[in-house]
Every structure is written in structure tokens, then in C-alpha cells.
A and B are shown apart, each in its own frame.
Chain A
Amino acid sequence: MRLDKDKILSILLVMPSILAVMIFVYGFILWSGRVSLSQWKGLLPNYEWAGLQNYINLFNDPRFHIDVRNTFIFTVLFVFGSLILGLMLAVMLDQGLRGESFFRTVFLFPMAISYIVTGVVWRWLMNPAQGERMSGFNILFERLGLDFLINQWHTTPGWGIAFIAVPAIWQMSGYVMALYLGGLRSIPEPLREAARVDGATELKIYFHVILPLLRPITLSAMIILGHISLKVFDLIVAIAGKQVALDVPAVYMWQTTFDGYFFNRGASIGILLLLSVAVLVIPYLRYSLRSEAEL
């Protein structure tokens, strides 16, 4: 390969970011891995070898069990909720109704807001106070005579985390809608017409023609939502603060590291989070790299 001036220049130009990524991403991952195998507890580093003890302690830690359970409930509800709602919105907008661009913008807007803002607003909306101090959704339900809908929201014992998924779905379903809408628009009209000629109902067209064609989009959306939900942190802190009932691994990592100086335990949680995201993302990356190579 001949190295001409342009090539050298381009390599030089990307070098700073490659170096930065090597140090600040991969270097620090390795360093976290090392800390997670150490006995570092306290302000100053202590790299004494602890083997897998930190991980074993975590697997026996009742608080970490709550974290895993909460993450699981949140992920399932959030991913499937956003996918279903997003698909429904996209299909409705795809009917060619008037004012489509207006609704498209409205549904997309929540995505422009940070999770902190969403959290603060929904903390008010989902106010669990009863009696005279009732407010938010609960008072709306009461005024409308829908008393059976009044509930404790995120303070529901054992299932509070399920209600945290509601604002998250509200925020991300518009994004899923945009993904699906793009996919729906790229499906050529002749395909639908062919199905109609063959006598398929509109419902059948969606289930047997359109949804299968949207499968790559569903996969990307699941990966994107899935890794967001595994890392969820700001939304929970904004709504619930630091409380064990609504704990997730990221909150535990933050609290144990910076409030309690358990750097070893914090690093172990960080590595477990990384692995759980990697399980989702790496197969997807391989898949998309391969399909790009085919193109």
C-alpha cells in the first residue's frame, strides 16, 4: 500500500480521537476491571488482590437481588411498552391523515427532554398522597369519578419500579414511532397492492407483510431501548431519590462508590453492567457489520 500525503494526513487527523478512546474508554474499562478485583475501600487506592470476592459478595447481597429484579421488571415493561406504543403511533400516522407532521412533532417532543426533567414532572404527576393532600393524576381521577384508578404509583410496595417505566415509555415511544414510520414509508406500495389483490384484509397485510419487513427496525429499537433501560439512573434518581425499594445497579454503584467509598464494589457493579449491555450490543454490532459488508 502506497502512503500518499492525503493518507498520512487523514491518519494523523483521526489519531487524537483514537488515542482518546483507547485511554478514556478501553483503558478505563481495564482499570475498572482491576479495581473490581481489589480491596479498595476508602479514599485512597488499595490494589491488594481480592480475586472474585467482590462479585461473590454482590451475588449474596440482598440489595443487589432487588437491583436485578427491578432492572428486569423495568426493562421488560419499558422495551415492550415503547415498542407497542411506538408501532401503534406510527401505523396511525401512516394512514395519511391531515396534520400528520403536527402530530409527528408532538409525539417526538418528549425525546428532546432530558430524563431529569421528565422525572421531576412525573414525580408531581404521580404524587401518591391520599386524602386532602391528593394531587397530580390521583386528583384528576377523583374528579373524573375514576376512583378505582387512584393508586400509590411508584410507592406501591414491591412493584413501584413498574410505574417508573410509565414516564420512560412516554419519553421514548415517540422515538420508536419515528423509527417505524421511516420503515413503513420505505415499504413499496406495490407490495400492499399485491396482497390486496390476493384477497388479504388490511389486518392480515400488517401481520404477514409489513411487520416481517419491519423486523430489522424492531431489532435496532430493542437494542437501543434495552441498553438505555439497563443503564437507567437519572430518571429514578429524579423521581425517587436514593431509596432501596426502587434501587437499580447504576444507583447502587453511585451510592456505594461516592457515599460509602466502596470503590471495589462500585467497580464490580460497573463491570457487571458493562457485561449485561455487551450481551445485547455485541451480537447486534456483528449483525450490522456483516449486513453492511454485504451491501
Chain B
Amino acid sequence: MSKKNWYALLAILLIGAMALTACGGQEPATEVAPEGGKSEVEVFSWWTGGGEAAGLEAMIAIFNEKYPDIEFINATVAGGAGTNARAVLATRLQAGDAPDSWQGHAGQELIGTYVAADQIEPLNFLYEENGWLEVMPATLIPLISQNDNIYSVPVNIHRANVLWYNPKILDENGIAVPTTMDEWFAAMDALKAAGVETPLAMGEQWTAMHLLETVLLGSMDPAAYNGLWDGSTAWDGPEVKAAIENFERILTYTNSDATSLSWQDASQLVVEGDAAFNVMGDWAEGYFRELGKAPNADYGWAPVPGTGGTFQFLSDSFVMAKNAPHRDACIAWLTVAGSKEGQDAFNPVKGSIPARSDGDRNLYGEYLQSAMDDWASDVVVGSLTHGVVANDSWKTEIDTALGLYLGSGDIAAFQSALAAACATSGPCK
């Protein structure tokens, strides 16, 4: 054989090898027969680092203890808030290769996407068998249901409507923690007059949306706020107008470099004494602790003014795929995820509170204990930014309207864009 032919042969072999590896990669792992009758469950999430991954590991340890015969396949895709993971999941679902269970923000983010596409199964039977309806707040259940079907098991609860403040700055200026919008405005005016450069710290665009949802809640009663998401409160009505006017005024107290700050940067301004207030979910508390700050000394917390007695929640939850490849193993996993033992293993590590109101208080820190009290007694409403009240399409339309408003400052156009978003992607007709 000549030299040239040898090269050709080599090339063909290489191409063949590449083709084989390519096919091998596409073969779904689930089709491999489990050895010795051992079953498995594939759980898909974006918990790859920090307290989240450690919390998941703690829950997996409990699962392995209870179900030693089931192999737990921890399928994770890295990326903040799951942007990458959800794109991967969408591709897998479109290809008919669903994992048994996957993570999603409880509420419309799951319902609007996966229930609308008929991909997940109602879990009412699990709630009834395990008595979860008695230990979870009654106002939570409608927010994670569609047509009385409950579609996910929440493993943790975060609170969105938290106002973080710097106690030293407030003390020095003789300001009490505000409880109403007007008190808040007066406090921030006083701080500005006293030379505090940034009364309220804000970060990149999604943190502005987070602020907007708490201002919407603070400017109307919880029933009207819930009505925004089922179409009974008009987006072009007076309540929303008042809320947007409050929002416009609040933005005048924020830092000028907001768009270049992450939420961590913005929250840090409060504990470092560069800003008096910050509105952020209670994951900020975990971050403050990481920075070595002490509760009540370096940072204080209160409900966002006007939202006292209301718990604006978000939650990570797990679902069961319709026709899950390993249905029984998946039910076993969800039972652990909803159990007191599972939730008390996950949440202290993640820095959140259990969705059940019977968690072991001694495992949690000072802030989380106060959140557990509120969770058990407050009216529960859902967060927009974190996927509870609006489906993803609607949320991105609101995000676009907000981004345009932040550029133009035109509140009339903002309100009509919000009304249009509800008409095209929400329940408004």
C-alpha cells in the first residue's frame, strides 16, 4: 500500500471513531439496564455550588439511607438561576428524553411552561398520603396549583419582600424603621438631607424588577396584588398607576451605578455603610453572614414598607415527569424532598426555611427563625421575578417593559406596556 493510501485509511478510521463516539454520547443513559434489578432516579437541577449543592447532597444522603436500592443520579447543569439548565432541559423534553424529576421555581414558571406542554404529573395524591396539606400554609397551595392540581413539591422557601437596613445609619439620623410607603419616603428624604449619598441600594435590571414587585405589593392590598396575576385587577387601573408612581419616586433615591452592580454588590453597600436600605430576597442574609456581619448589629430587616403581614415567597420545588422512566423511584425521591427530615437537612445549609411549618427551629439562625414565624402566620403571596405568579413569557415581557422604562422614564408608556404584556402572555383579555 502506498503512503497516500495509508493516510486515507487513517482518515476513514478517525472519522469512523468520531461517528461512533457521537452516537454513543446521544444514547440516553436511562436505557442501560440497571444491574441486579437496582432501580435509579434521575434528578435534574442547577444546584452546582455553594450552600445549594451542599444542601442537595445532605438531602441525597437521607435518600440513600432510606432507599439504598435506588441509585440517585444527580444531573446538574451549572448557571445562575438556571438559565442554562432550563435551556438544556427544554432541549431534552423536546427530544422526549425527560429526566424523572427536575427543579423549578414553584408556581407559574413551572405551570406555564411544563403543565402547558403536558410534561408533568399532578401530585395531589402525594400531598394527601403524606399529610402535607396540614403542614403547609393554606394560602400557598393555590399558588402552586392549576385547576386544583398541585404540580410540585417545594423544598425551601425564600422571602422576597425584605427591606434590609443599616441600623447604625438609621440610629445616627434618628430614623425609625419605616412601615408605610410615606414613612419610607420621609426617611429617605431625611437621609438625603443628612448627606447620605445612597439612601437605597439597587443593582442590575433584575433587581429593579424585584424592587418593582415589592412596591406593587406595598401599594395595594394582597387581594388586589393577587388579582394582578389572575386578571381581576386591571393593569391599566388606578392601583397600578399609584404603584408605578411610588416606584418612580423610589428610583430617585437609588445609586447612579445601579446597572453595573450585581445583587451582592448592592446588598453589600448596606452592610458596609455606603447605603441605608436595600430590597432583596432573604438569600442576602446568607451573603451577609459570609461577609462576617452580625444580625441586628450590622444589618436589620423588616418587611418592605406597606407589606407587613404579607409573605411574598418564592420556592425551589421538584416535579414528576409525565411517564417518568422510573416512576416509583421518583415518588420515593419526592417523598424525601417533602419530608420534615429532608427539608431540615437541606434548608439550614442552603440558608432558607422549610416549606413545612413544623421544621426544627433550633437548626436555624436568628433571621430564619423570624422568617419561620412569619411563614406560619402571614398571608402568602407569590413573587414575580422568581417565577411564582407569572409564566416565563409574561415575565420576560414585563422585564422588557421595565428595561424600556428605566431608559426612557415614561411612566404612561410603562403602564400601557404592562397592560399589553398581560394581554399577550397573561390572563387579561
**Of the residues B4, B205, B393, B402, contact of A260 by C-beta under 8 Å:** B393
**Of the residues B4, B396, B403, contact of A243 by C-beta under 8 Å:** B403
Cβ B257 vs Cβ A242 within 8 A: no
Which residues of B have CB within 8 Å of A123? 260
How many chain A residues touch B (CB < 8 A): the figure is 40
Q: Which residues of B pack against A, CB within 8 Å?
A: 4, 8, 11-12, 15, 19, 83, 86-87, 90, 93-94, 113-114, 116-117, 119, 197, 204-206, 255-257, 259-260, 274, 392-393, 395-397, 399-400, 402-404, 406-407
Contact status of A244 and B400, CB under 8 A, knowing A9-B8, A258-B86: yes
Contact status of A43 and B83, CB under 8 A, knowing A155-B256, A260-B395, A261-B393: no
Contact status of A258 and B83, CB under 8 A, knowing A9-B8, A63-B403, A155-B257: yes
A132 to B274, CA, bound (A): 9
Nearest CB of chain B from residue A255's CB, rounded to whole Å: 6
Which residues of B have CB within 8 Å of A62? 404
Which residues of A have CB within 8 Å of B113? 42-43, 261
Please count the residue pairs between chain A and chain B whose beta carbons lie under 8 angstroms apart in the complex: 101
Which residues of B have CB within 8 Å of A63? 400, 403-404
Q: Which residues of A pack against B, CB within 8 Å?
A: 6, 9, 13, 16, 41-45, 62-63, 66, 123, 127-133, 152-155, 157-158, 240-245, 247, 255-256, 258-262
Cβ A244 vs Cβ B205 within 8 A: yes
Which residues of B have CB within 8 Å of A243? 204-205, 259, 403, 406
Nearest CB of chain B from residue A123's CB, rounded to whole Å: 7
* The 7 A-B residue pairs with the shortest CB-CB distance in the complex, in nearest-first order: A244-B403, A260-B396, A43-B117, A243-B205, A128-B257, A258-B87, A44-B117
A26 to B83, CA, bound (A): 28
CB nearest to B113 among chain A residues: A43
Cβ A43 vs Cβ B256 within 8 A: no
Contact status of A130 and B256, CB under 8 A, knowing A42-B393, A244-B205, A245-B406: yes
Contact status of A43 and B15, CB under 8 A, knowing A131-B197, A245-B406, A261-B392: no
Which residues of B have CB within 8 Å of A245? 259, 403, 406-407
**Of the residues A130, A133, A155, A158, contact of B259 by C-beta under 8 Å:** A155
Which residues of A have CB within 8 Å of B94? 43-45
CB nearest to B89 among chain A residues: A43
A63 to B413, CA, bound (A): 13
Nearest CB of chain B from residue A15's CB, rounded to whole Å: 10
Sample 16 A-B pairs with CB under 8 A, ordered by A number.
A13-B8, A42-B113, A43-B90, A129-B257, A129-B260, A131-B197, A132-B274, A155-B257, A258-B86, A258-B90, A259-B83, A259-B392, A260-B392, A260-B395, A260-B396, A260-B397
A242 to B260, CA, bound (A): 11
Nearest CB of chain B from residue A35's CB, rounded to whole Å: 12
Q: A63-B400, A260-B397 are in contact. List 12 more A-B contacts (CB 8 A).
A: A16-B15, A42-B116, A42-B393, A43-B94, A43-B113, A63-B404, A127-B260, A155-B257, A242-B204, A243-B205, A258-B87, A260-B392
Cβ B407 vs Cβ A66 within 8 A: yes
Which residues of B have CB within 8 Å of A66? 404, 407
Nearest CB of chain A from residue B428's CB, rounded to whole Å: 16
**Residue with the highest number of chain A CB atoms closer than 10 Å, among B399, B400, B402:** B400
Contact status of A155 and B119, CB under 8 A, knowing A258-B90, A260-B395, A261-B392: no
A157 to B397, CA, bound (A): 22
CB nearest to B4 among chain A residues: A6
A45 to B90, CA, bound (A): 11
CB nearest to A13 among chain B residues: B11
Contact status of A43 and B116, CB under 8 A, knowing A13-B11, A63-B400, A245-B407: yes
Nearest CB of chain A from residue B96's CB, rounded to whole Å: 11
Nearest CB of chain A from residue B7's CB, rounded to whole Å: 10
Cβ B260 vs Cβ A128 within 8 A: yes
Which residues of B have CB within 8 Å of A258? 83, 86-87, 90
**Residue with the highest number of chain A CB atoms closer than 10 Å, among B11, B206, B257, B397:** B257
A54 to B95, CA, bound (A): 25
Nearest CB of chain A from residue B37's CB, rounded to whole Å: 34
A245 to B208, CA, bound (A): 13
Which residues of A have CB within 8 Å of B257? 127-130, 152, 155
Cβ B90 vs Cβ A41 within 8 A: no
Which residues of B have CB within 8 Å of A155? 256-257, 259-260
Which residues of B have CB within 8 Å of A129? 255, 257, 260
Which residues of B have CB within 8 Å of A131? 197
Which residues of A have CB within 8 Å of B197? 131
CB nearest to A252 among chain B residues: B400
**Of the residues A13, A158, A240, A255, contact of B396 by C-beta under 8 Å:** A255
Which residues of A have CB within 8 Å of B397? 260
CB nearest to A44 among chain B residues: B117
Cβ B204 vs Cβ A241 within 8 A: yes
Nearest CB of chain A from residue B47's CB, rounded to whole Å: 19
